[in-house]
Amino acid sequence: MPTQKTIAATGNTVVAEAMRQCAPDMMAAYPITPQTTIVEEFAGFVAKGRVHTEYITVESEHSAMSACVGASAAGARVMTATSSQGLALMWEELHIASGMRLPIVMANANRALSAPINIHCDHSDIMGARDTGWITLFAETAQEAYDNTIMAIRIAEHPDVLLPTMSCLDGFITTHSIDRVCIMDDETVTGFVGQYTPKNALLDIENPVTHGAFAGLGGPFFEFKKSQREAIERSRAVIKDVGAEFSELSGRPFGMVETWGMEDADVAIVVIGSTAGNVRHVARQMRESGIKAGVVKIRCFRPFPYAELAAALSGVKAVAVMDRAESFGAEGGPLFLEVRSALYDATERIPVIDYIYGLGGSDVRLELIETVLNDLSEIAAGAQAPTGLVYLGSR
Amino acid sequence: MANLKELTHREDRLEGGHRLCAGCGASVAVRQVLLGAGVEPVVVGCATGCLEVSTTIYPYSSWKTPFIHNAFENSAATISGVEAAFKGLKAAGKIPADKKIKFVAFGGDGGTYDIGLQSLSGAMERGHDMVYVCYDNGAYMNTGIQRSSATPKGAWATTSQVGAAQQGKQQRRKDLTQIMAAHNIPYVAQASISHWKDLTTKAEKAFAVEGPAFLNVFAPCPRGWRIPFDTTVEIAKSAVQTGYWPLYEVEDGVWRQTVKVMNRKPVVEFLKPQGRFKHLFASGNEALLEEIQADVDLQWDRLQARFSCS
């Protein structure tokens, strides 16, 4: 296994480091809390001459993604980062990037969307963008944010995939907390990500192509969308392979879902992002008091790991889904809808309860997670499951 | 600068057979601008609009040069990204350092004066080596003749209609060329498809400078202006001769009139043939016509003062 260096750094620092090691040809940068330090740290690499990247400081996130679309179509390896309102401002371009099959890699510092304005963590930004056609990876820790950023390049640029990929980390909790992170050496990362060989590059002057053509008037719009679906379905195998290869190099396992205690669990919590650590901690404690708790963490939200999730949850008696985003008017939050759908074909009907928590960075205290596991334990023993979603920790 | 004979030997990068209307000023503007690029390769970007939808109906394309359409408001940002990629790929050694490619972004007045102004301003400020060309036909023609900030005062449009309560557009048009000059970029010019030599010369200069350049090209729309399709060039010429659309350039901060207008004609000569101004000639609207003339005079005088200063 190649040597790795263990450092103490924030999530944003190691995302910037991963980006430097991936050596993008172009980066578009625009500041937004809590993403800003990613593009600031990268600006430092540019100033010191440590990257060859053409770094452009655009005047909005809309232009950031617009310029990334142009650069990626030109044939460059392209990266950027954003958060919250910035991601929302990019929304139109997110669809265009995936529709034009451009393997742009972006970090998103998960943050609540206005109004009211709030700069802290929740998943409303990324969940609002969940149908934009981007492959979406989530990190629990700074380490995972580092690893996901590097894997994202390989996944996005894979000839069977060619889809933009987002690497999400929780605003402030992961972006700004100092964590212990193993960093690979530059040569290892360079070798792992390889060179990007674009198809139909705009800058291939001898073979002119038209990008972004009009497919209306009875044109093949529908078929383009179908091929996009086929590509993201193909990405499942690629994500698995890239994850396996990365695990070999790093010694850190990667799967679309990560399970803890699921071998014999009676009750389980499904969670995304930084909260998973607290959930595991409480689950471990509750096991000492006799509650057989398990945890399923989602590392890849798009494509959604339906089969993996159904397999992981088979045999449990009650499931709690921790949603850090609302889907107003729906039966529950976005993750709940996916989890219930994943369990639809299960032979046993498992009660699934949705807990909306942590909106706008509101605290997720350990005792709150305890109440979830206690609820589940009672439901597993035959108590009536609550109807409708539960707000966890709201005043 | 190339003469007409030389220009006729240059390759047309926008092929015929596209679906733009007969008499469309946009395609004339594009062809004249691209002739100005000479023999060097050009990557073209285009905002959503008539030009884009009519030339790239999948699986066909009229573009014999690399082309990208992204969305409506971001033609400038998109081409700035292509240009940045070119620099980055050169820095990576993936493209030879001596390779030369020109970059040009097109947008209509809706995509430039209005929704794309921020993207344009940002790209120009960042100093990308690119040319931005606005083909100005004074309204959102692709969506069906809605008023833009380039629509002249008094003009009928589907969102600035004529009736008892209002006589067409109520506001003056925005002066985008001067806004772009205020960016202090190396080259800014206002041109018209009626003056091909002036336009291709300006395009040559725009492509030749290192850094950003902006061209605002007057490109009539027979559908929107309610004029016969064989009068496109005539009406554009009239805009120049009446002083409605002065032809000038701002080169490294020096303002210069490129086509002198002797005996400037009254603006009604430009307005009268156009159906979109028909109501202005009904009795009771004399004051409005006078106001339009006074405004053209005022803008003309202010511009002349800039020419004499520099």
User: Who contacts A196 (Cβ-Cβ below 8 Å, separation ≥6)?
Assistant: A76, A77, A103, A153, A157
Q: How far is B129 from chain A (nearest CA, A)?
A: 13
| Displacement of CA B273 from its chain's centroid (Å) | 21
Neighbours of B201 (CB within 10 A): 18
- Which residues from A are below 8 Å from B86, CB to CB? 74, 203
Provide the residue range defining the domain that includes B22. Answer: 4-309
Q: What is the CATH number of the domain that holds B253?
A: 3.40.50.970
Cβ-defined contact of B81 to A71 (cutoff 8 Å): yes
CA-nearest of A220, A217, A202, A213 to B55 is: A213
Disruptive mutation site among B60, B82, B104 for chain A (greatest number of A CBs within 10 Å) = B82
pLDDT, one tens digit per residue, over A108-123 is 999 999 999 999 999 9
Confidence at residue B310, expressed as pLDDT on a 0 to 100 scale: 58
Cβ-defined contact of B58 to A213 (cutoff 8 Å): yes
User: Who contacts A244 (Cβ-Cβ below 8 Å, separation ≥6)?
Assistant: A254
Strand partners of residue B58: none
Q: How many residues does chain B have?
A: 310
What domains does chain A contain, in order, with CATH numbers? 4-250 (3.40.50.970), 257-392 (3.40.50.920)
Confidence at residue A1, expressed as pLDDT on a 0 to 100 scale: 78
CA atoms within 13 A on the CB side of B126: 29
Confidence at residue A170, expressed as pLDDT on a 0 to 100 scale: 98
State how far the Cα of B310 lies from the Cα of B297, in Å rounded to an integer: 20
Cβ-defined contact of A208 to B65 (cutoff 8 Å): yes
Neighbours of B268 (CB within 10 A): 15
Q: How far is A393 from chain B (nearest CA, A)?
A: 42
pLDDT, one tens digit per residue, over A59-89 is 999 999 999 999 999 999 999 999 999 999 9
- How far does chain A reach from its first CA to its final CA, in angstroms? 49
Of chain A, the percentage scoring pLDDT greater than 90 comes to 96
Q: Is pLDDT at A103 greater than 80 in this prediction?
A: yes
Assess contact for A78 and A29: CB atoms under 8 A: no
Nearest to A203 among B74, B85, B123 (CB): B85
B25-84 residues touching A, CB cutoff 8 A: 41, 43, 45, 52-53, 56-59, 61, 63-71, 73-74, 77-82, 84
State how far the Cα of B120 lies from the Cα of B212, in Å rounded to an integer: 10
Assess contact for B63 and B44: CB atoms under 8 A: yes
Q: Is pLDDT at A128 greater than 90 in this prediction?
A: yes
Overall pTM surpassing 0.90 (yes/no): yes
Residue B103 sits at the chain A interface (C-beta within 8 Å):
no
Q: Closest residue of B to A66, CA-based?
A: B78
Average pLDDT value over all residues in chain A: 97
Q: State yes or no: cis peptide before A116, omega within 30 of 0.
A: yes
Q: What DSSP assignment string belongs to B198-214?
A: HHHHHHHHHHHSSS-EE
Q: How far is A329 from chain B (nearest CA, A)?
A: 31
CA-nearest of A278, A344, A282, A284 to A314 is: A344
CA-nearest of B85, B59, B103 to A198 is: B85
pLDDT in tens, chain B (310 residues): 678 888 888 889 999 999 999 999 999 999 999 999 989 999 999 999 999 999 999 999 999 999 999 999 999 999 999 999 999 999 999 999 999 999 999 999 999 999 999 999 999 999 999 999 999 999 999 999 999 999 999 999 999 999 999 999 999 999 999 999 999 999 999 999 999 999 999 999 999 999 999 999 999 999 999 999 999 999 999 999 999 999 999 999 999 999 999 999 999 999 999 999 999 999 999 999 999 999 999 999 999 999 976 5
Cβ-defined contact of B88 to A202 (cutoff 8 Å): no
Nearest to B85 among A76, A92, A220 (CB): A76
Backbone phi and psi for residue B216, each to the nearest 5 degrees, phi listed first: -110, 110
User: Who contacts A337 (Cβ-Cβ below 8 Å, separation ≥6)?
Assistant: A327, A330, A331
Residue given tokens 């879902």 in the structure block: A257
State how far the Cα of B32 lies from the Cα of B13, in Å rounded to an integer: 10
State how far the Cα of B246 lies from the Cα of B260, in Å rounded to an integer: 9
State how far the Cα of B179 lies from the Cα of B199, in Å rounded to an integer: 20
Cβ-defined contact of A66 to B82 (cutoff 8 Å): no
Disruptive mutation site among A19, A20, A25 for chain B (greatest number of B CBs within 10 Å) = A25
* Interface predicted TM-score (ipTM) of this complex, two decimals: 0.97
Which amino acid is present at B48?
Answer: T
Residue B143 sits at the chain A interface (C-beta within 8 Å):
no
Q: Which three-class secondary structure string do you get for chain A? A: CCCEEEEEEEHHHHHHHHHHHHCCCEEEECCCCCCHHHHHHHHHHHHCCCCCCEEEECCCHHHHHHHHHHHHHHCCCEEEEECHHHHHHCHHHHHHHHHCCCCCEEEEEECCCCCCCCCCCCCHHHHHCCCCCCEEEECCCHHHHHHHHHHHHHHHHCCCCCCCEEEEEECCCCCCCEEEEEEECHHHHHHHHCCCCCCCCCCCCCCCCEECCECCCCCCHHHHHHHHHHHHHHHHHHHHHHHHHHHHHHCCCCCCEEEECCCCCCEEEEEECCHHHHHHHHHHHHHHCCCCEEEEEECEEECCCHHHHHHHHCCCCEEEEEECCCCCCCCCCHHHHHHHHHCCCCCCCCCEEEEEECHHHCCCCHHHHHHHHHHHHHHHCCCCCCCCCEEECCC
Assess contact for B310 and B254: CB atoms under 8 A: yes
Residue given tokens 């109501």 in the structure block: B279
State how far the Cα of A165 lies from the Cα of B223, in Å rounded to an integer: 43
- What's the structural domain count of chain B? 1
Residues A147-152: what's their mean pLDDT? 98
A46-75 residues touching B, CB cutoff 8 A: 52-54, 56-60, 62-63, 66-75
Q: How far is B112 from chain A (nearest CA, A)?
A: 14
Angle between helices B117-126 and B75-91 (to 10 degrees): 30
